[in-house]
Structure 1
Amino acid sequence: MKKTVKILSLFLIVLTVMISCKKDTDPADKDFFVGTYKGSVSYNKSGQSITSSDGRVTVSKIGETYSFYFGNNIPDITGVKFEKSGDNNYVSVGSGLTGITINASSLKMLVNKDGATWTADCSR
């Protein structure tokens, strides 16, 4: 019985993630969202520069807080809040983390924080 409950629980978790990751799912419509955006990304800090034309950014949202996980050894950005700007576009708000626009199909980013700059021009 315990094994059946574990398998059923795992199945429900996987199903929830799959539904949350559909490409037409707007991050703002869900309290839990995980999606991967692909495109050009870059990072620059103190002479260290990382650039990729086929980079990826995995976006997760839990409640009202978004996190951006980069590939290519680029540091992550976490704890970002957004407000609605127009039809299904959301713009980051708060100190030091402005310059991010996201919707169901695209992610645009130009963030300057603590002497570092992140950029992204991605879609899913």
Structure 2
Amino acid sequence: MKKNLSLTALICLIIVAISSVSCSKNDDPADNDLFVGTYKGHISYTDADGKKSADNGSVTVVKAGGEYYFRFSDGIPDLKGVRFKKDGDHTLVNIDLKEGLHFVRIDASSLTILYTKDNKVWTANAKR
């Protein structure tokens, strides 16, 4: 009985956590410490093995603190640990310029990515 009660409490806690972290389409990633949003549109990835692309792909953006995680659909590898600075009221521009070309622009309604790292290229032109 105690195990069932603990399991039920854990499931309820997970449901509350997910519902409080998920963001509406009007939520702006620049204004939230925690942000989860999905952008849909054209995505692509190129590496030494070739190119993958999708006209109706998606990118799920997860922000925790100051770092962003971009989860691509269609078998495209994810981008992790991307950092931004605020550019204006509601736009974020990537500041991670260690190597390669890094252009990521995100706001409440659109996501644009041109990101190169280790001879790999991610692109996205997507909307929410």
Amino acid at match of 1:115: N
- Asked if residue 90 in structure 1 is aligned to residue 92 in structure 2, the reply is yes
The equivalent of 2:108 in structure 1 is 104
- Asked if residue 71 in structure 1 is aligned to residue 73 in structure 2, the reply is yes
| Structure 1 vs Structure 2 CA RMSD | 1.7
| Unaligned stretches of 5+ residues in structure 1 | none
Instruction: Map 1:47-62; keep pairs closer than 5 Å.
Output: 47-62=49-64
Preserved CA contact (<8 Å) 1:91 1:98 = no
Task: Give identity over the alignment, percent.
Answer: 43
User: Hey, what's the Cα distance between the residues in 2 that align with 1:21 and 1:40?
Assistant: 22
Amino acid at match of 2:124: A
| Count of matched residue positions in the alignment of Structure 1 and Structure 2 | 122
| Deviations 1:77-109 (CA, angstroms, capped at 9, x unpaired) | 000100111231100111247200000100001
The equivalent of 2:125 in structure 1 is 121
Amino acid at match of 2:18: V
**TM-score, normalised to structure 1's length?**
0.89
Amino acid at match of 1:87: D
| Unaligned stretches of 5+ residues in structure 2 | none
**TM-score, normalised to structure 2's length?**
0.86
